[in-house]
A and B are shown apart, each in its own frame.
Chain A
Amino acid sequence: MSLTLSTESESPERTTVHVHGRLDAQTFGEFDLAILDLLPRVADGGTMVLNLSALEYISSAGLRSIAKIRKSMRARGGHTLLLNPQPQVRKVFDIVKAVPVNEVFASTQELDEYLDHMQRQITDGSIEVE
Chain B
Amino acid sequence: MLLRSIASRLSLWVLAGSVAVLAVAGGVLFYRVSGQILEQAHGEATALANEAGNRIEQRLARVADTAQTLAAVVGPRPEDAELMLRDALERNADLSGLAAVFVPAGDNPPTSPFVSRQDDGSLGWRDLRKDASPYWEKNWFLAGLSCTPGCWQRHFYSQSRKRELVNYSVAITRGGHPVGLINADVSLDWLSRILKELAKPAGAYAFVLDDNGTYLVHDNPALIGQRGHDDLLQAAAQHQASRVRLAIAQNPQAKGKPVWIYFSPIEGTRWRFGLVIPEATIYAGPRQAFARVLALGLLALLALAVVTLAVTRRILAPLGTLASRAEEVARGALDFELPAARFPDEVGRLTGAFDRMRTELALHMAELTRNAREQQRLACELDIAHQIQTALLPGEHYLDAHCENFELHALLRPARAVGGDLYSYFMLNERRFCVMVGDVSDKGIPAALFMARTITLAKALAPRARTPQQLLSMLNLELCRNNDSCMFVSLLCGMLDTFTGELVMSSAGHEPPVLCNADDARLIELDTGAALGLDEEASYPARRLRLQPGQTLMLYTDGITEATDTNLQMYGAERMLACLAQAPSRSAADLASGLLADVDRYAEGAGQADDITVLALSWHHALDDRNSPMLDLTINASMDDVFETLDRCDATLHAQGVAPDVRDDIRLVLEELMVNMVEHGRTRDAGNIIGLHMRLGDDAVFVELHHNGHPFDPLQAPLPALTGDIADQEEVGGLGIHLVRAMASELSYSHDEQGNHLQLRFLNPARTEPRHVPDPEH
* A residues whose Cβ falls under 8 Å from a Cβ of B: 24-26, 56-57, 59-61, 63-64, 66-67, 70-71, 74, 80, 87-88, 91-92, 94-100
Cβ-based interface call for B519 (8 A): no
Separation of A97 and B735 alpha carbons in the complex (Å): 10
Q: Is the CB of B726 within 8 A of A98?
A: yes
Question: Which of B357-365, B488-496, B660-668, B683-691 is found at the contact surface with chain A?
Answer: B660-668
Chain A's closest residue to B670 (CB) is A59
Complex CA distance for A87 and B661, rounded to whole angstroms = 9
Does B776 lie within 8 Å of A95, measured CB to CB?
yes
Task: Pick from A56, A87, A94, A96: contact of B726, CB below 8 A.
Answer: A96
Chain A's closest residue to B660 (CB) is A88
User: Measured between C-beta atoms, what is the minimum distance from B675 to chain A in Å?
Assistant: 5
Q: How far is the CB of A36 from chain B (nearest CB, A)?
A: 16
**Does chain A have a CB within 8 A of B732?**
yes
**B738 in contact (CB, < 8 A):** yes
Residues of B within 8 A of A59 (CB): 668, 671-672, 675, 736, 739
Q: Please encode chain B, from 737 to 766, with 1 for each CB lying within 8 Å of some chain A CB and 0 for all others.
A: 011001100000000000000000000000
Q: With A59-B668, A60-B739, A74-B727 in contact, is A88–B661 under 8 Å at CB?
A: yes
Question: B134 within 8 Å of A by Cβ?
Answer: no
Interface residues of B (CB under 8 A from A): 639, 642-643, 660-661, 664, 667-668, 671-672, 675, 720, 722-727, 729, 732, 735-736, 738-739, 742-743, 773, 776
A56 contacts across to B, CB distance below 8 A: 664
Could you name 23 residue pairs across A and B whose Cβ atoms are closer than 8 Å? A24-B671, A25-B642, A25-B643, A25-B671, A26-B639, A59-B672, A59-B675, A60-B739, A61-B736, A64-B735, A66-B726, A67-B727, A67-B732, A87-B661, A88-B664, A92-B739, A95-B739, A95-B743, A95-B776, A96-B739, A97-B722, A97-B725, A99-B726
**Nearest CB on A from B627, distance (A):** 29
Look across to chain B and name the residue whose beta carbon is closest to the beta carbon of A73: B727
Contacts of A80 in B (CB 8 A): 727
Are the C-beta atoms of A67 and B664 separated by less than 8 Å?
no
Complex contact A96–B671 (CB within 8 A): no
Q: Once the chains bind, are B735 and A60 in contact (CB under 8 Å)?
A: yes
Contact present for A96 and B643 (CB under 8 Å):
no
Of chain A, the residue at the smallest CB distance from B773 is A91
Distance in angstroms from B171 CB to nearest chain A CB is 196
* Cβ–Cβ < 8 Å partners of B725 in chain A: 70, 97-100
B661 adjacent to A96 (CB under 8 Å):
no
Q: How far is the CA of A37 from the CA of B390 in the complex (A)?
A: 72
Q: Judge whether B726 and A57 touch: CB under 8 Å.
A: no
**Seed contacts A59-B672, A60-B735, A88-B661; 6 additional CB < 8 Å A-B pairs:** A57-B664, A64-B732, A70-B727, A80-B727, A91-B773, A92-B668
- Which residues of chain B are within 8 angstroms of A24 by Cβ–Cβ distance? 643, 671
Residue of A nearest to B742 (CB): A95
CA separation between A26 and B723, bound complex, in Å? 27
Instruction: Specify which chain A residues have a CB less than 8 angstroms from the CB of B726 in the assembled complex.
Output: 63-64, 66-67, 70, 96-99
Residues of B within 8 A of A99 (CB): 725-726
Decide: B735 and A57 in contact? CB cutoff 8 A: no
Chain A: CB-nearest residue to B771: A87
Q: Contact at B735–A63, with CB atoms within 8 Å?
A: yes
- Which of A25, A66, A96, A98 is in CB contact (< 8 Å) with B675? A25
Query: Distance (Å) between the CB of A52 and the closest chain B CB?
Result: 14
A93 to chain B minimum Cβ distance, whole angstroms, is 9
CA distance A110 to B656 in the complex (A): 39
Distance from A3 Cβ to chain B, minimum over Cβ atoms (Å): 12
Centre residue among A60, A61, A95, A99 by max chain B CB count within 10 A: A60
Closest partner residue, chain B, to A86 (CB atom): B664
* Residue with the highest number of chain A CB atoms closer than 10 Å, among B722, B732, B773: B732
A100 and B661 form a contact (CB under 8 A) = no
Measured CA separation A59–B556 after assembly (Å): 52
- Chain B residues with CB under 8 A of A88: 660-661, 664
Expressed in whole angstroms, the minimum distance between the Cβ of B645 and any Cβ of chain A is 12
Minimum Cβ distance to chain A for residue B735 (Å): 4
Q: How far is the CA of A66 from the CA of B723 in the complex (A)?
A: 15
Check A100 against B724 for contact (C-beta < 8 Å): yes
Residue of A nearest to B738 (CB): A96
Q: Report the separation of the CA atoms of residues A79 and B148 in the bound assembly, to the nearest whole angstrom.
A: 215
**B664 to chain A: which residues have CB within 8 Å?**
56-57, 88
**Are A97 and B672 also in contact (CB < 8 A) when A57-B667, A63-B735, A87-B661 are?**
no
The answer to whether residues A95 and B724 also contact, given A63-B732, A87-B661, A88-B664 and a CB cut-off of 8 A, is: no
Report the 6 A-B pairs with minimum CB-CB distance, sorted nearest first. A60-B736, A70-B727, A67-B726, A60-B735, A25-B675, A97-B722
- Closest A residue to B741 by CB, please name it: A95
Contacts of A70 in B (CB 8 A): 725-727
Question: Across the interface, which residues of A come within 8 angstroms of B661, CB to CB?
Answer: 87-88
Cβ distance A23 to chain B, nearest Cβ, rounded Å: 11
Q: A64-B732, A66-B726, A88-B664 are in contact. Are A95 and B671 (CB under 8 A)?
A: no
- Alpha-carbon gap, A60 to B725, bound state (A): 14
Complex contacts, A57 vs chain B, CB 8 Å: 664, 667-668
Query: Is the CB–CB distance between B639 and A25 below 8 Å?
Result: yes
Instruction: Please name all residues of chain B whose beta carbon is closer than 8 Å to the beta carbon of A71 when the two chains form the complex.
Output: 727
* Nearest CB on B from A31, distance (A): 15
Tell me the complex Cα distance, A24–B667, Å.
10
| CA gap between A63 and B672 in the complex, in Å | 12
